[in-house]
Amino acid sequence: MRLADFIQNNMQRILDDAVEFALTQAPAGADLNLKRLRNDIPLILREIVADLRTPQSPAQQRAKAQGLAPVSAGPESAATSHGRSRADDGFGVNQMIAEYRALRASVLRLWAADDDWVTTAIDDMIRFNEAIDQAVAESLAAFSRTVESWRDVFLGALGHDLRGPLTAVVGTADLLVDSTRDTPHARLAERILNGGVQLSRLVDGLLDYSKSALGAGMTLHRVPCDLGEAIAEEVELLRTTLQDAPITLHVQGDTRSHVDDARLREAVHNLVTNAVKYGDDGEIRVTVEGDGDRTCIAVSNAGDPLSTDALNALFDPLRRGSNAASKGEHTSLGLGLFIVREIATAHGGDVTARVEDGRTLFVITLPRQDVRMALQA
């Protein structure tokens, strides 16, 4: 039986085998859509069957072997749709390529099992393909690690070089605000200052990201403090900045802690601004609660719900919500929630996201075992 006929006649067997492998490749937090997965693979196989049944010249064969075959000007191919959907699902390039490797191996293995006369030739072909696949996988993994490492170094150097000039801009703008108060230029000076502060936050985010990605981790400056009071000060600042956002604060229990309060204020700032971007115009609720051996900081808002896996995937660096933000998206690098996670991790805690009672809820949980030791010292 010719391979094209075998694929067409055994589409379900091949699909089941390929889907089983794809599920084992799904990264933690990936929003893998099983229905879409079962839709993608048959489309790819049908295009391959059509290609196998189409005559081709030696020049066309060489172009395809090099990935240089001309792309159709019509609707996007199944492979193009597959690549886009896997990026949306949070897959890495290695995991996406692994699906194609598994699909090829599945087709050849099942074909060989059905036709004894081709078994020897197919066995050799499979072994050769497996050797090539292993070499590609190792090369691709090393290539990806190296590219990511250089990207992280570049981002760190960029953030470091920008911080000096921005400090000068913000300092000068602060002086202008004081000197132009109650004058026609006061509004302009405030806009310059606010823009400089916003840029400084972005640069600080780049530096935090590059340090974490390069293994340096996040540096904390812990002090004994009342975390409820610290978060209350940040909420007041947020109310001044985000005047149209109804932000409420609820503090419960013993919130004395031994933490980096500045970093945790930054985490709350990121969570609240994220809620403003992606939530509706309803209440943004901030809660600080001290309970036994832990302290919890929660930020919730109403809005279009996402699955828990999709929400937790937002903590990955350089990722943003799949839904369009209502405002402020042009100033986002997709690092806000990643920094929140790094702050929680550096404190020995964690951060989770879920939908509860129709509200999107982010919760930072911090251990308090160090708190009592610090307060007794």
DSSP 98-150: HHHHHHHHHHHHHHHHH-GGGHHHHHHHHHHHHHHHHHHHHHHHHHHHHHHHH
More confident residue, 159 or 2: 2
Does residue 132 form part of some domain? no
Does residue 178 form part of some domain? yes
More confident residue, 11 or 73: 11
Does residue 121 form part of some domain? no
* 231/199 same-domain check: no
* 76/164 same-domain check: no
* 280/339 same-domain check: yes
pLDDT of the residue at 252: 93
Confidence band of 114 (pLDDT split at 50, 70, 90): confident
For residue 151, is pLDDT > 70? Answer: no
For residue 138, is pLDDT > 70? Answer: no
* 231/345 same-domain check: yes
* 207/233 same-domain check: no
pLDDT of the residue at 105: 78
Tens digit of pLDDT for each residue in 256-295? 989 989 889 989 998 998 888 888 878 999 999 998 789 9
* 182/308 same-domain check: no
Give the mean pLDDT of the chain.
77
More confident residue, 112 or 252: 252
* 336/363 same-domain check: yes
pLDDT of the residue at 19: 79
SS3 302: strand
For residue 2, is pLDDT > 90? Answer: no
* 336/235 same-domain check: yes
Mean pLDDT of 48-76: 76
Say how many domains are in the chain. Answer: 3
For residue 31, is pLDDT > 60? Answer: no
Residue ending a domain, among 183, 213, 243, is 213
Does residue 85 form part of some domain? yes
Does residue 139 form part of some domain? no
SS3 240: helix
Lowest mean pLDDT, pick from 146-150, 166-170, 263-267, 283-287 = 146-150
For residue 341, is pLDDT > 80? Answer: yes
Confidence band of 375 (pLDDT split at 50, 70, 90): very low
Does residue 130 form part of some domain? no
pTM, two decimals, is 0.53
User: What dihedral angle (degrees, nearest 10) is formed by the CA atoms of 217, 218, 221, 225?
Assistant: -120
Do the Cβ atoms of 224 and 258 come closer than 8 Å? yes
Q: Tell me which residue range forms the domain holding 84.
A: 3-114
E strands within the chain? 223-226, 247-253, 256-259, 284-291, 294-302, 350-356, 359-367
For residue 309, is pLDDT > 50? Answer: yes
E strands within 19-118? none
* 372/227 same-domain check: yes
CATH for 274: 3.30.565.10
* 292/263 same-domain check: yes
Mean pLDDT of 307-324: 64
pLDDT of the residue at 197: 79
Residue ending a domain, among 114, 141, 168, is 114
* 240/325 same-domain check: yes
Does residue 264 form part of some domain? yes
Does residue 124 form part of some domain? no
Do the Cβ atoms of 221 and 260 come closer than 8 Å? yes
pLDDT of the residue at 371: 45
Tens digit of pLDDT for each residue in 200-250? 777 776 777 666 665 656 778 899 999 999 999 999 988 887 888 899 999
Percent of the chain topping pLDDT 90: 15
* 370/236 same-domain check: yes
